[in-house]
Amino acid sequence: MSLRSALRAQTADCHAAVDALFGSFNLSRTQDYKAFLRAHAQVVPSVEHALEEAGIARLLPNWSERRRAHLLAADIRELGDRLPAPLPQPALHCEAAVWGAAYVLEGSELGGALLAKAVPDHLPSSYLTPQGPKGAMRLFMDRLDASKVDDPGAAVTAARNVFDLFLKAGQLTLETVP
Q: What is the pTM of this model?
A: 0.94
The residue count for the chain: 178
Q: What CA dihedral angle connects 149, 154, 158 and 159, to 10 degrees?
A: 70
In SS3 terms, 51-103 reads as HHHCCHHHHCCCHHHHCCHHHHHHHHHHCCCCCCCCCCCCCCCCHHHHHHHHH
What radius of gyration do the chain's Cα atoms show?
16
Closest CA to 161 of 7, 5, 37: 7
Q: What is the pLDDT of residue 135?
A: 79
Q: What is the pLDDT of residue 137?
A: 83
Q: What is the pLDDT of residue 112?
A: 86
Q: Which amino acid is at 83?
A: L
Q: What is the pLDDT of residue 175?
A: 84
Q: Which amino acid is at 149?
A: V
Q: What is the pLDDT of residue 132?
A: 67
Cα 39 → chain centroid: 11
Whether 46 contacts 89, CB under 8 Å: yes
Closest CA to 158 of 29, 60, 56, 22: 56
% helix / strand / coil in the chain, to the nearest 5?
Answer: 65, 0, 35
| One pLDDT digit (tens) per residue for the chain, 178 residues | 789 999 999 999 999 999 999 999 999 999 999 999 999 999 999 999 999 999 999 999 889 988 999 999 999 999 999 999 999 999 999 999 999 999 999 999 888 888 999 999 999 999 998 666 677 888 898 999 899 888 999 999 999 999 999 999 999 998 887 6
CA–CA separation, 4 vs 155, rounded Å? 10
Q: What is the pLDDT of residue 39?
A: 97
CATH class for the domain made up of 3-174: mainly alpha
Q: What is the pLDDT of residue 103?
A: 96
